[in-house]
Copies of this chain bind each other. A is one copy, B any other.
Amino acid sequence: MEHEATRITGTDLDPEAAFQRRLGAVVQAVEERIAALLDDAPRRGEIARPARLVAAMRHAMLGGGKRLRPFLVIETAALFGVPFAHALNGACALELVHGYSLVHDDLPAMDDDDLRRGRPTVHKAFDEATAILAGDALLTLAFDVAADESSHTDPAVRAAFVQGLARAAGLGGMVGGQMIDLAAEGRYGDVLLDEARVRRLQAMKTGALIAFAVDAGALLGRAPLGDRQALGAYGRAVGAAFQIADDILDRESSAAAMGKRTDKDAGKGKATLVGVLGLERARRERDTLVEAAIAALASFGAKADILRSAARFTASRQS
């Protein structure tokens, strides 16, 4: 605990302050760009934008969210001299994918959640059919945005971005992870949830898109192969640390809420590393992952301080 407190509020306050300032800038810029993308005006190749669908998409995307994935895209690209404004479009493509996944995950047939970030979920604020379509349209828009000329001047980079995003988000990544997660609830019969399977599930469900956020920044910045590999290690570690930190928070808050729930009970039916490893080992693994993420950035020197802070931030609170 002292270790963590030192890292967050200790002697290196300046990098943390810089981090918070830049995260705030990303939050604002992403909000504005996505609001502009989701207006009523049909773009070239579109016929009309139905008001109800646009409203549901805006409800899903605006007014909340830590914007961690866009932040990682923008700050990784910045390592290679890509201006903020040039990386913003690609960054928003990832946030649209993240947003669609929340809309569909909240559906009654999935996690059946009524609230997200303190507001009604899309199928509650609108209806289930509208939520399905809003998710579909957000996912589709993500690829429109990724392929757009404003994402990068080189079409080869845009095509690689689209394909990388699709693979991180699709059947071998995020969607596949969600499928395994539903199976882990026992919906389709008993499943053995050993540590290796839980790790793979988490790497797919949340890790893949976070890792791709870092890789997307490297793509936009035309990073040399060695740098891209180092950033790959960073991205995977941050993605894993993020998920463990989230699960630890879940456990701590549900334990607090229940007053007497034990670690073992609280983890039931959820395929988390906290459930597999227990709270203490999970905390140690989270800290080890943050250190590994930071170590992977060694060759970048001080210019990667923001990404180091991001690794610490990711692991220290819910994002």
Contacts and interface: CB of A to CB of B under 8 A. Distances in A.
B176 A49 contact: yes
A83 interface: no
Contacts of A146: 162
Given A47-B173, A50-B179, A144 B128 contact: no
A150 B280 CA distance: 48
A48 B178 CA distance: 12
B139 A140 contact: yes
A50 B171 contact: yes
A249 interface: no
A49 B179 CA distance: 10
A137 B171 contact: yes
What is the predominant secondary structure among interface residues of chain A facing chain B? helix
Interface string A109-134: 11000000000000000011110110
A176 B47 contact: yes
A183 B139 contact: no
A50 B205 CA distance: 12
A270 to B, nearest CB: 16
Interface in A259-316: none
Nearest to A129: B109
Contacts of A46: 167, 170-173, 176
A169 B164 CA distance: 20
Interface in A27-64: 42-50, 52-54, 57
A143 interface: yes
Nearest to A204: B47
Contacts of A170: 46, 137, 140-141, 144
Contacts of A177: 47
A193 B139 CA distance: 29
A136 interface: yes
Nearest to A110: B129
Interface in A156-211: 156, 158-160, 162-173, 175-180, 182-183, 187-188, 200, 203-204, 208
Interface residues of A, number: 68
Given A49-B172, A109-B128, A159-B162, A136 B139 contact: yes
A208 to B, nearest CB: 6
A135 interface: yes
A141 B200 CA distance: 20
A166 B138 CA distance: 10
A250 interface: no
A155 interface: yes
A231 interface: no
A147 interface: yes
Given A133-B179, A141-B166, A54 B171 contact: yes
Given A140-B170, A143-B162, A143-B165, 9 more contacts: A44-B167, A46-B167, A109-B128, A109-B132, A129-B182, A135-B136, A137-B176, A144-B167, A147-B166
Q: What are the 8 tightest A-B residue pairs by CB atom distance, in nearest-first order?
A: A46-B172, A45-B167, A144-B166, A140-B170, A109-B128, A155-B156, A147-B162, A137-B171
